[in-house]
Structure formats: C-alpha cells, structure tokens
C-alpha cells in the first residue's frame, strides 16, 4: 500500500457509541500499519458507552470516500431513538457508491437497514427481527452467522455486518477485507482471540 487513503480507516464516533465493539479491529489495524481517524457529526467531543471522552479528528462533512480505505460504524443508542445518526448512514451510502467498503456492527446495522443499504445485500445483525422492525425490504438476505461480508456488485463497495456480541468475528472480516493477514495468520488470529487457543500465537509470530 502506498497512498495514505489505502492505509487510513475512519471510525465513526458519537455519544454512547459502543467502544468495545471495535476494540480488536482498531487495535490490530494500528499495529499493522493503518491509521485510524475518528469522525463525529462535528469536532465536538463525544462520550462512549464506556464513559470515555473522544475528540473526533474530523467532522462528518469533511469526510470523503476517496480519502479512506474503510468506514466503520458501531452501535449506539442513537440508532434506535431518532434520526440523529442518519447522516452516518447516508455517509455509508456515499462510501459504497464510490466503491469504498463499510463495516457496521450492532445498532449501526439498523441504521443501514433504514437507509435501504441492506435490501439487496447479504447481511447479519443481533437477530433478524431487530432489523425487521425497521421495515426494511432485505429480510430474505439476512444470514444467521456471526459476521458476514457482502462482496458488492457493479462497482459498489463491500459491506461487513455483525451483531453486538461478535467483535472478534467483526474484526476478522475487516482484516480479511483489507488483507491485513494472510489466510493462515488470519485463522490463527481468530483462534487466539475467539477461542483462546494459545497454540495460535506461534503462527501469528511467524514461527
């Protein structure tokens, strides 16, 4: 990778965002040469569900798909209590339309469903009826798995979705999409962090 956009990942941040859902993802991306930049509705600080204050690196109106390798959206109370976070769903649409991938976990999947982005894509979430309550038209594309990547079509970007209890599977899909690890190391990473398989550590260290 040579350009900064190829190694820059954008993480959406907003009040009550579920900070644990992307901890594995952002930590291991950073350890593997990526830069994670946070994006808020504005540059005003937000407070995570865990009580941490985060100062966004940029405001949403400054975000451009061509400057990014991936947009990550986490869960938050705001996805189910009004339209405050809908601008992030619209940003996801602009990313996908530009051929840049998006990864959404937990409540962010409902935001994408309301935006119509899951109607014709394979996807998952917490449970199928959670998304069905949005009134979206993609119920037949729901997949009962921990996390799923839809490959996109006609130049559209790929889309990762996962439920709130699957931060490790979510990270695995991100790493596979971005080519962070080869297949053998990706399997070892997942076994280490999901299954506590200590033998996988040696594979990750290249031994």
Cβ-count burial 110-124 (b if 16+ within 10 Å, e if not): bbbbbbebbeebbbb
Catalytic option among 106, 112, 113, 200: 106
Note if 106 is an active site residue: yes
CB-CB contact of 149 with 160 (8 Å) = yes
Structure tokens at 181: 């690890």
CB-CB contact of 147 with 161 (8 Å) = yes
Catalytic residues: 106
């Amino acid at each position: 990778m040579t350009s900064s956009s190829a190694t820059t990942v954008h993480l959406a941040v907003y009040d009550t965002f579920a900070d644990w859902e992307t901890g594995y993802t952002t930590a291991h991306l950073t350890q593997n040469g990526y830069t994670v930049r946070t994006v808020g509705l504005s540059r005003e600080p937000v407070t995570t569900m865990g009580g941490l204050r985060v100062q966004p690196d940029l405001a949403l109106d400054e975000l451009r798909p061509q400057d990014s390798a991936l947009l990550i959206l986490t869960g938050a109370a705001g996805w189910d209590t009004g339209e405050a976070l809908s601008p992030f769903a619209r940003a996801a649409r602009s990313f996908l339309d530009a051929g840049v991938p998006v990864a959404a976990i937990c409540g962010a999947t409902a935001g994408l469903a309301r935006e119509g982005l899951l109607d014709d894509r394979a996807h998952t979430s917490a449970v199928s009826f959670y998304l069905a309550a949005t009134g979206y038209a993609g119920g037949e594309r729901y997949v009962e798995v921990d996390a799923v990547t839809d490959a996109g079509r006609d130049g559209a970007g790929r889309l990762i979705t996962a439920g709130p209890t699957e931060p490790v599977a979510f990270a695995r899909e991100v790493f596979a999409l971005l080519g962070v690890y080869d297949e053998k190391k990706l399997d070892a990473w997942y076994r280490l962090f999901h299954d506590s398989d200590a033998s996988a550590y040696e594979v990750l260290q290249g031994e």
